[in-house]
Amino acid sequence: MSNIHNCDGRIDLESEPLLIKTLSLTVIVYPYFYLVLIGSI
């Protein structure tokens, strides 16, 4: 039982930084994409 709970906690910890990574990547890429979109118009 303890092992399963530990595994769940580990998955949770790995999933959170991925969300932060995706969020920061979006924050970096989105303004650049927006500028390219404006530039092409």
Domain definitions of the chain by residue range: 1-41
Tell me 41's DSSP state. -
Q: How confident is the model at residue 21, as a pLDDT?
A: 87
Q: Rounded CA gap, 14 and 21, in Å? A: 11
> Is the alpha carbon torsion for 28, 30, 31, 33 positive or negative?
positive
Using pLDDT thresholds of 50, 70 and 90, give the confidence band for residue 18. Answer: confident
The per-residue pLDDT for range 21-37, each reduced to its tens digit, is 888 989 999 889 889 98
Residue 2 pLDDT exceeds 70:
no
pTM above 0.85, yes or no: no
Only one residue has tokens 């994409």, namely 33
Could you tell me which of 23, 1, 3, 24 has the C-alpha nearest to residue 11?
A: 3
Portion of the chain with pLDDT greater than 70, in percent:
63
Please report how many Cα atoms fall inside a 13 Å half-sphere around the Cα of residue 38, on the Cβ side: 6
